[in-house]
Amino acid sequence: MKIEEQLTKKSMLSLFREMQLIRIFEERCGELYMQGKIRGFLHLYIGEEAIAVGTSAALEPQDYIVTHYRDHGHALARGMDPNAVMAELYGKSTGTTGGKGGSMHLVDSSRNFTGGYAIVGGQLPIATGLALAAQELEEDRIVVCYFGDGALNQGEFHEAFNLASIWKLPVLFFLENNLYGMGSGIERTFAGGKDPYTVSDHYKIPSRQIDGMNLLEVKKATEEARKKILSGDGPYFIEAICYRFRGHSMADPMNYRDQAEDIAWKPRDPLVTFPADMLNSGKVSQEDIDKIYQEVEKQVEAAIEFAESSPFPSPEALYHNIYS
């Protein structure tokens, strides 16, 4: 189905704006890290924007989101304030967690964004617990749990799938398979083969594999999965094949993959294909797209200015929220 048959002009531009915001935000974060303004670990989401935006577009405000350490894209797609996110990366008191969480621990309880988790696979049992609570309280919501292919080898992955299936919990397990767990290709680390989505067959969890670079495919798959889960069918598993155009983290020289692979994936970049599809639809002009480019650039620069002008946490803040 063509893009113009699925989306209005307003929807196209809105989704594009969200992806472009993530892309520019992440590119500037990489530059700021190299300048020493952002410190610690930094994992960029460049290339995977269609997943965060596509899934978020299919969810409702009451749905929970639980994710991993590469969480900036998910946070922004969920509607978190770029100013607060950038301030958090700077370690400033105006950040999402007062500058205490940093890049890997973005949180916004008002949006049911329960956070990024630095421990590989550590978010899976948390998401399963949230789904159990939603079921016990008879709430009309699902839990979306993002994780990477590196988490497939963790015990929590299998434990979460097992319990979620037994109890028919309302959770969508969403694998962002960017083909590498840090610097190791999935074919070297996962005995289940190149199609991890089939693993869920052993847990009697329905699954599907989709193109994670295609926003509309991601959105549709998430909508269908959410509907099935809320009907009482239990958990669902989506594997989205995608590609990160930057290293695992800023410390990654990416010498484990060759340039030809990178070049082969470039034409599938969602920030290349989606604008082209919009133009081909006849509903959107180049002027519309250029306007968003300019507005997003200004928005990200404003977030940087906000972060740089914000104060660091006071020494007393070290003792705040310790037990909350």
Instruction: Indicate the range of 76-90, 226-240, 254-268 predicted with least confidence.
Output: 254-268
Residue 245's pLDDT is what?
A: 83
Answer for the pair 4, 281: CB distance below 8 angstroms, yes or no.
Answer: yes
CA distance 132 to 163: 10
The pLDDT of residue 195 is 82
CATH number, domain 3-306, options 3.40.50.920, 3.30.420.40, 2.60.320.10, 3.40.50.970: 3.40.50.970
Q: Give the pLDDT score at 5.
A: 84
Question: Does residue 252 register a pLDDT over 90?
Answer: no
Tens of pLDDT along 136-168? 999 999 999 999 988 888 899 999 999 999 999
Query: What one-letter code names the amino acid at 123?
Result: Q
> CB–CB of 222/58 below 8 Å?
yes
97-102 contacts at long range (C-beta below 8 A, 24 or more positions apart): 98/313, 98/317, 98/320, 98/321, 99/312, 99/313, 100/313, 100/317, 102/40, 102/41
The yes-or-no verdict on residue 257 having pLDDT over 90 is: no
Q: Residue 291 in 3-state DSSP? A: helix
> What pLDDT score was predicted for residue 159?
96
Distance between CA atoms of 96 and 85, rounded to whole angstroms? 6
The token pair that represents 150 in the structure block: 């590196």
Q: Above 60 in pLDDT, residue 324?
A: no
Res. 182: pLDDT tops 80: no
Contact at 8 Å (CB) between 274 and 214? Answer: no
Average pLDDT over residues 236-257: 83
Residue with tokens 């292919």: 149
What would the pLDDT profile of 204-221 be if each residue is shown by its tens digit?
999 999 999 999 999 999
Q: Two tokens at 117?
A: 């988790």
Q: Rounded distance, CA 226 to CA 230, Å?
A: 6
pLDDT at 261 > cutoff 90: no
Q: Is the pLDDT of residue 249 over 90?
A: no
Q: Give the tokens for residue 72.
A: 């900036």
Contact (CB, 8 A) for 152 and 199 = yes
Q: What whole-number distance in Å separates Cα of residue 15 and Cα of residue 270?
A: 11
**pLDDT surpassing 90 at residue 297:** yes
pLDDT at residue 112 above 70?
yes
Where along the chain do its domains lie? 3-306
Least confident of 177-181, 268-272, 278-282: 177-181
The percentage of residues in the chain with a pLDDT greater than 90, rounded to a whole number, is 78
> What are the two backbone dihedrals, phi and then psi, of residue 42, each rounded to the nearest 5 degrees?
-145, 120
The C-alpha atoms of residue 241 and residue 235 are separated, in whole angstroms, by 20
pLDDT of residue 166: 97
Q: What is the pLDDT of residue 319?
A: 87
- Strand residues in 133-281 grouped as ranges (E): 143-148, 171-177, 180-181, 184-185, 207-211, 236-241
Lowest mean pLDDT among 82-91, 165-174, 199-208, 239-248: 239-248
Asked if pLDDT for residue 57 goes beyond 70, the answer is: yes
pLDDT (0 to 100) of residue 75: 97
Tokens of 181: 């767990």
Give pLDDT, residue 184.
Answer: 65
